[in-house]
Amino acid sequence: MRFLLLVLIFAASATAALAAPVADRKSSARLLACDTEARAASFKGDMKAFGRALNLSMRFTLKVRDLANPVFRRVEAPSFDEWLPAEQGTKRFVFEKAVENLPPGADYRAVVRFRWRGPKDKILARATDVTRACRQPDTRADLEPTRISVSGGSRDETRFYSVRVVNSGLADAPAFATRLDVSGAAVEESTGEPLAPGEADTLLFEAPRCAPGSQITATVDAGATVDEADEADNVLTMECPNS
C-alpha cells in the first residue's frame, strides 16, 4: 500500500541556555496534534546539550499499523528519515513535523532518534523515543454478510436461501449487488437496498437445491461498486445442510 503524505510544517528553535550536566540531559518525542477531520498529525522532538556536546541532531521516522498489518512499519514520507542538525553550539533543539492526507483506518506514530556529537565530530550519545499514536478512523461503509439460512423452496428441487447483510461501517452504503453460489455454481444475483450505518437487510433467493455437504457462498457488493472500509469481509461460506 503506497501512502501519499504531505509535509505541512516544520520548525526548529534553539535556546542559548547553559549546558546541562550529563545526569540532567534528556530527549523526548511526543504527538502534538491528531486531526481526524483533516487526516493530519503533528509530532515534536526535543533535546538538550550536555557536557562537551557541540552538535545536536534528530531524525523522524513515520510508522503505521492497520488491520492488514497490525505491527507498526515504516512509511515513506517527504523529508522524514533525514538527519536534522541544529546550529553548532545550540543548547536546546526543538523540531516539529506534521503530515496530512493520512489514509484512514490506521494508527500513525513517529520514532525520533537523537544524536549528540562533540569535538572532532565524535558521537557522544544516542537516544530514541516514540510518540503516542494518532488514530485515523475509517469512516467508510462496510458491508458484511453475517448469516445464510436455508429453507424449503416453492418446488421440491429448489430451496429458499436468505442472506443477512449488515453495514458495520460509519457511512451510508448505496444499493449493492449480492451473488449467491450454490454447489460451486453462481445461480442468483440480487440488489440490496441502501443501508445506513448499523442497519441490516435480508435478501431472499430461490435457487436449486444444494447437495448435502457442498458449499453455499454469499458475496456482497459483487460488482465492487461500494467503497468500503474492509473489502476482505464481503464473503460468507457455509456447508449445505442435510435437507
Number of compact structural domains in the chain: 2
The answer to whether the CB of 64 falls within 8 A of the CB of 70 is no
Per-residue pLDDT of 93-115, as tens digits, reads 999 999 999 988 899 999 999 99
Mean pLDDT, rounded, of the chain: 87
In this structure, the answer to whether residues 82 and 98 fall within a common structural domain is yes
Higher pLDDT, 99 or 187: 99
Residue 224, in any domain of the structure: yes
Helix/strand/coil for 119: helix
Is the domain of 131 the same as that of 154?
no
| Shared-domain flag, residues 19 and 132 | yes
Answer yes or no: is pLDDT of 118 > 50: yes
Grid coordinates given for 75:
512509511
Residue type, 238: M
Taking a C-beta distance cutoff of 8 angstroms, is the pair 161, 182 a contact? Answer: yes
**Cell match 459483487: residue?**
222
pLDDT at residue 135 tops 80:
yes
Phi, psi dihedrals of residue 98, rounded to the nearest 5° = -140, 145
pLDDT of residue 114: 96
Exposure of 87 by Cβ count < 10 A (0-12 exposed, 13-18 middle, 19+ buried)? Answer: exposed
**Confidence at residue 145, expressed as pLDDT on a 0 to 100 scale:** 95
Distance between CA atoms of 27 and 40, rounded to whole angstroms? 24
Q: What is the mean pLDDT of residues 78-97?
A: 94
Paired residues of 136 in beta bridges: 106
* Same domain membership, residue 132 and residue 23: yes
Give the mean model confidence (pLDDT) for residues 17-27: 49
What domain range includes position 235? 143-239
Write down the pTM of the prediction.
0.63
Cβ(219)–Cβ(235) below 8 Å: yes
Q: What percentage of residues in the chain have a pLDDT greater than 90?
A: 65
Provide the pLDDT for residue 16.
Answer: 39
Q: Out of 82, 102, 136, pick the residue that ends a domain.
A: 136
How much is the pLDDT for 186? 76
Domain endpoint, select from 136, 163, 184: 136
Q: Are 238 and 220 in contact (CB under 8 A)?
A: no
